[in-house]
Protein backbone atom coordinates (compact mmCIF):
# COMPACT_ATOMS: atom_id res chain seq x y z
CA UNK A 1 0.00 0.00 0.00
CA UNK A 2 1.92 2.98 -1.34
CA UNK A 3 1.74 6.55 -0.06
CA UNK A 4 -0.67 5.99 2.81
CA UNK A 5 -0.95 9.74 3.44
CA UNK A 6 -2.38 10.38 -0.04
CA UNK A 7 -4.75 7.45 0.35
CA UNK A 8 -6.06 8.85 3.63
CA UNK A 9 -6.62 12.25 2.01
CA UNK A 10 -8.49 10.72 -0.95
CA UNK A 11 -10.75 8.61 1.30
CA UNK A 12 -11.40 11.60 3.55
CA UNK A 13 -12.47 13.80 0.64
CA UNK A 14 -14.48 11.16 -1.23
CA UNK A 15 -16.37 9.92 1.83
CA UNK A 16 -16.57 13.33 3.55
CA UNK A 17 -14.98 11.93 6.74
CA UNK A 18 -12.39 13.68 8.88
CA UNK A 19 -8.82 12.50 8.26
CA UNK A 20 -8.44 11.47 11.91
CA UNK A 21 -11.42 9.13 11.50
CA UNK A 22 -9.92 7.56 8.36
CA UNK A 23 -6.58 7.05 10.13
CA UNK A 24 -8.37 5.48 13.09
CA UNK A 25 -10.27 3.11 10.77
CA UNK A 26 -7.11 2.03 8.95
CA UNK A 27 -5.19 1.43 12.19
CA UNK A 28 -8.08 -0.57 13.64
CA UNK A 29 -8.34 -2.65 10.44
CA UNK A 30 -4.62 -3.47 10.54
CA UNK A 31 -4.88 -4.54 14.20
CA UNK A 32 -7.99 -6.70 13.55
CA UNK A 33 -6.24 -8.43 10.64
CA UNK A 34 -3.01 -8.94 12.59
CA UNK A 35 -4.92 -10.53 15.46
CA UNK A 36 -6.49 -12.89 12.94
CA UNK A 37 -3.34 -13.97 11.08
CA UNK A 38 -0.51 -13.49 13.63
CA UNK A 39 -1.62 -13.79 17.27
CA UNK A 40 -5.12 -12.86 18.44
CA UNK A 41 -4.00 -12.09 22.03
CA UNK A 42 -0.98 -9.96 21.15
CA UNK A 43 -0.85 -6.17 21.35
CA UNK A 44 -0.16 -4.19 18.20
CA UNK A 45 0.70 -0.65 17.17
CA UNK A 46 0.34 0.85 13.70
CA UNK A 47 2.62 3.54 12.25
CA UNK A 48 1.13 5.58 9.40
CA UNK A 49 3.81 8.28 9.33
CA UNK A 50 5.77 6.84 6.40
CA UNK A 51 4.75 6.13 2.82
CA UNK A 52 3.88 2.59 3.80
CA UNK A 53 1.99 1.54 6.96
CA UNK A 54 3.89 -0.62 9.42
CA UNK A 55 2.29 -2.81 12.07
CA UNK A 56 4.31 -3.69 15.14
CA UNK A 57 3.72 -6.68 17.39
CA UNK A 58 4.46 -5.63 20.97
CA UNK A 59 6.23 -8.31 23.03
CA UNK A 60 7.12 -8.17 26.73
CA UNK A 61 10.34 -9.98 27.70
CA UNK A 62 9.74 -12.28 30.69
CA UNK A 63 11.82 -14.79 32.66
CA UNK A 64 9.74 -17.82 31.73
CA UNK A 65 11.25 -20.69 29.78
CA UNK A 66 10.37 -21.87 26.29
CA UNK A 67 8.45 -20.28 23.47
CA UNK A 68 5.37 -18.13 23.98
CA UNK A 69 1.95 -19.66 23.58
CA UNK A 70 -0.71 -18.53 21.07
CA UNK A 71 -2.57 -16.57 23.78
CA UNK A 72 0.47 -14.87 25.24
CA UNK A 73 2.02 -11.55 24.26
CA UNK A 74 5.13 -12.18 26.37
CA UNK A 75 8.32 -13.84 25.25
CA UNK A 76 11.08 -15.55 27.23
CA UNK A 77 14.39 -13.78 27.70
CA UNK A 78 16.20 -16.71 26.06
CA UNK A 79 14.09 -16.64 22.86
CA UNK A 80 14.13 -12.86 22.69
CA UNK A 81 17.93 -12.66 22.90
CA UNK A 82 18.32 -15.34 20.28
CA UNK A 83 15.59 -14.34 17.80
CA UNK A 84 14.98 -10.63 18.22
CA UNK A 85 18.35 -9.14 19.23
CA UNK A 86 18.47 -7.19 15.95
CA UNK A 87 15.45 -5.12 17.02
CA UNK A 88 17.22 -3.62 20.04
CA UNK A 89 20.16 -1.22 20.15
CA UNK A 90 21.34 -2.72 23.44
CA UNK A 91 21.29 -6.18 24.94
CA UNK A 92 17.76 -7.44 25.62
CA UNK A 93 16.89 -7.90 29.28
CA UNK A 94 13.89 -8.95 31.33
CA UNK A 95 11.11 -6.33 31.33
CA UNK A 96 12.06 -4.89 27.93
CA UNK A 97 9.33 -4.25 25.35
CA UNK A 98 10.22 -5.37 21.83
CA UNK A 99 8.41 -3.98 18.76
CA UNK A 100 8.44 -6.52 15.90
CA UNK A 101 7.47 -5.06 12.49
CA UNK A 102 5.21 -7.10 10.20
CA UNK A 103 4.16 -6.77 6.58
CA UNK A 104 0.68 -8.26 6.28
CA UNK A 105 1.21 -9.00 2.58
CA UNK A 106 3.68 -11.67 3.72
CA UNK A 107 0.72 -13.62 5.12
CA UNK A 108 -0.88 -14.16 1.71
CA UNK A 109 -4.01 -13.14 -0.17
CA UNK A 110 -6.37 -13.99 2.65
CA UNK A 111 -4.64 -11.53 4.97
CA UNK A 112 -4.71 -8.77 2.33
CA UNK A 113 -8.36 -9.43 1.49
CA UNK A 114 -9.28 -9.45 5.16
CA UNK A 115 -7.40 -6.18 5.68
CA UNK A 116 -9.16 -4.32 2.88
CA UNK A 117 -12.56 -5.72 3.90
CA UNK A 118 -11.93 -4.48 7.46
CA UNK A 119 -10.89 -1.04 6.21
CA UNK A 120 -14.03 -0.70 4.06
CA UNK A 121 -16.30 -1.92 6.88
CA UNK A 122 -14.81 0.39 9.49
CA UNK A 123 -14.79 3.43 7.19
CA UNK A 124 -18.47 2.81 6.41
CA UNK A 125 -19.21 2.57 10.14
CA UNK A 126 -17.31 5.79 10.83
CA UNK A 127 -19.22 7.48 8.00
CA UNK A 128 -22.53 6.44 9.55
CA UNK A 129 -21.39 7.65 12.99
CA UNK A 130 -20.44 11.02 11.53
CA UNK A 131 -23.80 11.22 9.77
CA UNK A 132 -25.53 10.33 13.03
CA UNK A 133 -23.91 13.21 14.92
CA UNK A 134 -24.35 15.60 12.00
CA UNK A 135 -28.08 14.91 11.92
CA UNK A 136 -28.36 15.03 15.72
CA UNK A 137 -27.24 18.64 15.34
CA UNK A 138 -29.93 19.13 12.67
CA UNK A 139 -32.88 18.11 14.84
CA UNK A 140 -35.66 20.56 14.02
CA UNK A 141 -34.01 21.56 10.72
CA UNK A 142 -35.45 21.21 7.23
CA UNK A 143 -34.23 18.52 4.84
CA UNK A 144 -35.40 17.64 1.34
CA UNK A 145 -35.29 14.45 -0.65
CA UNK A 146 -36.90 12.25 -3.26
CA UNK A 147 -39.72 9.81 -2.51
CA UNK A 148 -38.47 6.29 -3.26
CA UNK A 149 -41.38 4.28 -1.87
CA UNK A 150 -44.82 4.57 -0.28
CA UNK A 151 -45.88 1.39 1.53
CA UNK A 152 -49.35 -0.07 2.14
CA UNK A 153 -49.64 1.83 5.44
CA UNK A 154 -48.85 5.10 3.61
CA UNK A 155 -45.42 5.47 5.22
CA UNK A 156 -43.32 7.52 2.82
CA UNK A 157 -39.66 6.62 2.32
CA UNK A 158 -37.43 9.55 1.39
CA UNK A 159 -33.85 9.44 0.08
CA UNK A 160 -31.98 12.63 0.90
CA UNK A 161 -29.34 14.06 -1.38
CA UNK A 162 -26.51 12.52 0.71
CA UNK A 163 -28.22 9.10 0.26
CA UNK A 164 -29.39 9.00 3.89
CA UNK A 165 -32.91 7.63 4.12
CA UNK A 166 -35.79 9.01 6.14
CA UNK A 167 -39.40 8.08 6.73
CA UNK A 168 -42.53 10.20 7.03
CA UNK A 169 -45.13 8.06 8.76
CA UNK A 170 -48.79 8.66 8.11
CA UNK A 171 -49.21 10.49 11.43
CA UNK A 172 -46.33 12.82 10.54
CA UNK A 173 -47.87 13.72 7.20
CA UNK A 174 -50.31 16.61 6.85
CA UNK A 175 -53.89 15.41 6.55
CA UNK A 176 -54.87 14.90 2.93
CA UNK A 177 -51.31 14.81 1.58
CA UNK A 178 -50.47 12.11 -0.94
CA UNK A 179 -46.96 11.45 -2.19
CA UNK A 180 -45.78 9.35 -5.10
CA UNK A 181 -42.40 7.98 -6.16
CA UNK A 182 -40.18 10.72 -7.55
CA UNK A 183 -41.79 13.60 -5.63
CA UNK A 184 -39.40 16.02 -3.91
CA UNK A 185 -40.55 16.47 -0.31
CA UNK A 186 -39.39 18.83 2.44
CA UNK A 187 -39.75 17.86 6.11
CA UNK A 188 -38.13 18.50 9.46
CA UNK A 189 -35.76 16.08 11.23
CA UNK A 190 -37.63 14.71 14.25
CA UNK A 191 -35.48 11.77 15.40
CA UNK A 192 -32.17 10.19 14.31
CA UNK A 193 -31.76 6.42 14.54
CA UNK A 194 -29.16 3.77 13.70
CA UNK A 195 -30.78 0.56 12.39
CA UNK A 196 -29.66 -3.04 12.86
CA UNK A 197 -27.33 -2.69 9.86
CA UNK A 198 -25.66 0.33 11.54
CA UNK A 199 -27.15 2.71 8.96
CA UNK A 200 -28.46 6.12 9.91
CA UNK A 201 -32.19 6.56 9.36
CA UNK A 202 -34.30 9.63 10.06
CA UNK A 203 -37.83 10.09 11.34
CA UNK A 204 -39.17 13.10 9.45
CA UNK A 205 -42.24 15.21 10.13
CA UNK A 206 -44.45 17.72 8.36
CA UNK A 207 -46.92 18.01 11.25
CA UNK A 208 -44.49 19.22 13.91
CA UNK A 209 -44.59 22.87 14.99
CA UNK A 210 -40.83 22.88 14.34
CA UNK A 211 -41.59 22.23 10.68
CA UNK A 212 -43.57 25.47 10.59
CA UNK A 213 -40.89 27.34 12.55
CA UNK A 214 -38.18 26.10 10.18
CA UNK A 215 -40.21 27.19 7.15
CA UNK A 216 -40.50 30.67 8.65
CA UNK A 217 -36.76 30.77 9.32
CA UNK A 218 -36.17 29.83 5.69
CA UNK A 219 -38.56 32.50 4.38
CA UNK A 220 -37.77 35.34 6.81
CA UNK A 221 -34.06 36.30 7.02
CA UNK A 222 -34.68 38.28 10.21
CA UNK A 223 -35.66 35.04 11.98
CA UNK A 224 -32.61 33.21 10.62
CA UNK A 225 -30.40 36.08 11.80
CA UNK A 226 -31.95 36.18 15.28
CA UNK A 227 -33.41 39.69 14.89
CA UNK A 228 -36.92 38.27 15.25
CA UNK A 229 -37.64 35.36 17.58
CA UNK A 230 -40.41 32.79 17.36
CA UNK A 231 -41.41 32.18 20.99
CA UNK A 232 -44.32 29.78 20.64
CA UNK A 233 -46.29 28.02 17.95
CA UNK A 234 -49.60 26.16 18.09
CA UNK A 235 -50.85 24.18 15.18
CA UNK A 236 -53.56 21.92 13.83
CA UNK A 237 -51.63 20.63 10.80
CA UNK A 238 -53.14 21.43 7.41
CA UNK A 239 -55.87 23.51 9.00
CA UNK A 240 -54.70 26.48 11.04
CA UNK A 241 -51.79 27.70 13.19
CA UNK A 242 -50.69 30.59 15.38
CA UNK A 243 -47.13 31.88 15.68
CA UNK A 244 -46.02 34.30 18.44
CA UNK A 245 -43.03 36.50 17.57
CA UNK A 246 -41.07 39.37 19.09
CA UNK A 247 -37.98 41.52 18.55
CA UNK A 248 -35.72 43.68 20.68
CA UNK A 249 -35.36 46.20 17.86
CA UNK A 250 -37.63 49.25 18.44
CA UNK A 251 -37.72 50.04 14.72
CA UNK A 252 -39.12 46.67 13.61
CA UNK A 253 -42.71 45.46 13.67
CA UNK A 254 -42.07 41.69 13.91
CA UNK A 255 -45.55 40.68 12.76
CA UNK A 256 -45.36 42.84 9.62
CA UNK A 257 -41.88 41.53 8.78
CA UNK A 258 -42.92 37.89 9.22
CA UNK A 259 -46.08 38.35 7.17
CA UNK A 260 -44.16 40.19 4.43
CA UNK A 261 -45.30 42.73 1.90
CA UNK A 262 -48.78 41.78 0.65
CA UNK A 263 -48.45 38.60 2.75
CA UNK A 264 -45.79 37.09 0.48
CA UNK A 265 -43.68 35.44 3.20
CA UNK A 266 -46.49 33.93 5.23
CA UNK A 267 -48.16 32.79 2.00
CA UNK A 268 -44.99 30.91 0.99
CA UNK A 269 -44.99 29.10 4.33
CA UNK A 270 -48.72 28.37 4.08
CA UNK A 271 -48.30 26.95 0.58
CA UNK A 272 -45.61 24.48 1.75
CA UNK A 273 -47.89 23.51 4.67
CA UNK A 274 -50.69 22.54 2.27
CA UNK A 275 -52.63 25.80 2.59
CA UNK A 276 -52.58 25.99 6.38
CA UNK A 277 -54.02 29.33 7.55
CA UNK A 278 -51.44 30.99 9.80
CA UNK A 279 -52.00 33.84 12.25
CA UNK A 280 -48.93 35.76 13.38
CA UNK A 281 -49.25 37.59 16.72
CA UNK A 282 -47.02 39.61 19.01
CA UNK A 283 -45.56 37.70 21.95
CA UNK A 284 -45.55 39.28 25.42
CA UNK A 285 -44.09 38.10 28.70
CA UNK A 286 -47.15 39.62 30.38
CA UNK A 287 -49.73 36.79 30.27
CA UNK A 288 -52.78 39.07 30.04
CA UNK A 289 -51.37 40.88 26.99
CA UNK A 290 -50.23 37.63 25.37
CA UNK A 291 -53.67 36.04 25.83
CA UNK A 292 -55.30 39.15 24.38
CA UNK A 293 -53.01 38.97 21.32
CA UNK A 294 -53.51 35.22 20.94
CA UNK A 295 -57.27 35.62 20.37
CA UNK A 296 -56.64 37.67 17.21
CA UNK A 297 -58.43 38.47 14.91
CA UNK A 298 -60.90 39.15 17.70
CA UNK A 299 -60.52 42.49 19.53
CA UNK A 300 -60.41 41.80 23.29
CA UNK A 301 -61.24 44.54 25.82
CA UNK A 302 -59.33 43.08 28.77
CA UNK A 303 -58.07 39.84 30.33
CA UNK A 304 -58.07 38.77 33.96
CA UNK A 305 -56.42 35.63 35.33
CA UNK A 306 -57.77 34.06 38.54
CA UNK A 307 -55.86 32.10 41.18
CA UNK A 308 -56.60 28.84 39.34
CA UNK A 309 -54.87 30.15 36.20
CA UNK A 310 -58.14 30.47 34.31
CA UNK A 311 -58.07 33.47 31.98
CA UNK A 312 -61.28 35.46 31.53
CA UNK A 313 -61.22 37.45 28.29
CA UNK A 314 -63.84 40.18 27.98
CA UNK A 315 -64.92 41.28 24.51
CA UNK A 316 -67.88 42.78 22.68
CA UNK A 317 -70.57 40.43 21.52
CA UNK A 318 -69.76 41.04 17.84
CA UNK A 319 -66.20 39.82 18.46
CA UNK A 320 -67.27 36.56 20.07
CA UNK A 321 -67.50 34.55 16.84
CA UNK A 322 -64.01 35.66 15.76
CA UNK A 323 -62.56 34.70 19.14
CA UNK A 324 -64.07 31.23 19.04
CA UNK A 325 -63.53 30.60 15.33
CA UNK A 326 -65.03 27.92 13.14
CA UNK A 327 -65.62 24.77 15.21
CA UNK A 328 -63.84 26.50 18.12
CA UNK A 329 -60.43 26.35 16.38
CA UNK A 330 -59.30 29.92 17.13
CA UNK A 331 -59.97 29.54 20.85
CA UNK A 332 -58.30 26.12 20.93
CA UNK A 333 -55.16 27.42 19.22
CA UNK A 334 -55.02 30.40 21.62
CA UNK A 335 -55.19 27.99 24.56
CA UNK A 336 -52.44 25.82 23.08
CA UNK A 337 -50.31 28.88 22.35
CA UNK A 338 -50.58 30.45 25.81
CA UNK A 339 -51.07 27.34 27.97
CA UNK A 340 -54.07 28.93 29.70
CA UNK A 341 -57.68 27.81 29.97
CA UNK A 342 -59.43 30.79 28.37
CA UNK A 343 -63.09 31.64 29.08
CA UNK A 344 -64.86 34.32 27.11
CA UNK A 345 -67.02 36.99 28.73
CA UNK A 346 -69.04 39.05 26.24
CA UNK A 347 -70.41 42.55 26.59
CA UNK A 348 -73.91 43.07 25.24
CA UNK A 349 -74.99 46.33 23.59
CA UNK A 350 -75.57 47.81 27.05
CA UNK A 351 -72.05 46.91 28.22
CA UNK A 352 -73.30 44.13 30.53
CA UNK A 353 -70.98 41.13 30.93
CA UNK A 354 -72.46 37.76 29.93
CA UNK A 355 -70.69 34.39 29.81
CA UNK A 356 -70.57 33.16 26.22
CA UNK A 357 -73.20 30.46 25.57
CA UNK A 358 -70.67 28.38 23.67
CA UNK A 359 -68.59 27.88 26.82
CA UNK A 360 -71.06 27.78 29.71
CA UNK A 361 -69.32 24.62 30.94
CA UNK A 362 -65.72 24.77 32.15
CA UNK A 363 -63.69 24.73 28.97
CA UNK A 364 -60.55 22.93 30.10
CA UNK A 365 -57.70 22.47 27.66
CA UNK A 366 -57.70 18.86 26.49
CA UNK A 367 -54.76 16.60 27.26
CA UNK A 368 -54.07 16.44 23.53
CA UNK A 369 -53.94 20.22 23.28
CA UNK A 370 -51.64 20.46 26.30
CA UNK A 371 -49.33 17.89 24.76
CA UNK A 372 -49.43 19.71 21.45
CA UNK A 373 -48.40 22.90 23.18
CA UNK A 374 -45.60 21.21 25.13
CA UNK A 375 -44.40 19.08 22.22
CA UNK A 376 -43.37 22.10 20.12
CA UNK A 377 -41.23 19.97 17.88
- Ordered by start, the domain boundaries in the chain are 4-130, 144-205, 208-283, 286-377
**Angle at Cα 376 formed by Cα 159 and Cα 223, nearest 5°?**
80
pLDDT tens-digit readout, 240-271: 999 999 999 999 999 999 999 999 999 999 99
CATH class of residue range 286-377: alpha beta
Comparing 105-119, 123-137, 146-160, 224-238, the range with the smallest average pLDDT is 105-119
Q: In what order do the strands lie in the sheet with 228-236?
A: 228-236, 240-247, 277-282
CB atoms within 10 A of CB 89: 4
Query: Could you tell me how far CA 288 lies from the centroid of its own chain?
Result: 35
Q: What is the 3-state secondary structure (H, E, C) of 277-309?
A: EEEEEECCCCHHHHHHHHCCCCCCCEEEECCCC
Q: For residue 170, is pLDDT > 80? A: yes
Residue 368 — very low, low, confident or very high, per pLDDT cuts 50/70/90?
A: very low
Cα–Cα distance, 66 to 273 (Å, whole number): 77
- Where does the chain have alpha helices with state H? 4-15, 19-37, 77-83, 109-136, 209-219, 221-224, 254-259, 264-272, 287-294, 320-324, 329-338, 367-375
Residue 357 — very low, low, confident or very high, per pLDDT cuts 50/70/90?
A: very low
Strands 310-316 and 341-347: parallel
What does the pLDDT read at residue 39?
A: 76
Cα–Cα distance, 35 to 33 (Å, whole number): 5
Does this chain's domain 4-130 share its CATH topology with 286-377? no
144-205: which CATH topology?
OB fold (Dihydrolipoamide Acetyltransferase, E2P) (2.40.50)
pLDDT tens-digit readout, 59-71: 888 876 655 554 5
What does the pLDDT read at residue 362?
A: 38
The contacts of residue 127 (CB under 8 Å, 6+ apart) are 15, 16, 17
Q: For residue 370, is pLDDT > 50? A: no
Strands 54-62 and 97-102: antiparallel
pTM above 0.75, yes or no: no
Q: For residue 173, is pLDDT > 80? A: yes
In CATH terms, is domain 208-283 a member of 3.30.300.20?
A: yes
Instruction: Provide mean pLDDT across the span 43-56.
Output: 84
CB atoms within 10 A of CB 188: 26
4-130: which CATH topology?
N Utilization Substance Protein A; Chain:P; domain 4 (3.30.1480)
Q: Length of the chain, please?
A: 377
Amino acid sequence: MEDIGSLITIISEERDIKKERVEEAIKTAFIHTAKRVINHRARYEVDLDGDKPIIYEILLVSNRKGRRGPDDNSISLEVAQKKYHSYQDSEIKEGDVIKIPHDLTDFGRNASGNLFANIEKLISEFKEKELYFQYKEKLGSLVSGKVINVDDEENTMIELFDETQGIITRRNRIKGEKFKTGDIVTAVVKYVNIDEHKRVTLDLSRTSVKFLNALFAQSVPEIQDGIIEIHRTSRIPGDRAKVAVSTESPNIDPVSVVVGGKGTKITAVSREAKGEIIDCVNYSEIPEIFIKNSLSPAVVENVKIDKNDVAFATLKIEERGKAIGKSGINLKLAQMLTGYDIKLITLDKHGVETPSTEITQKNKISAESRLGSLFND
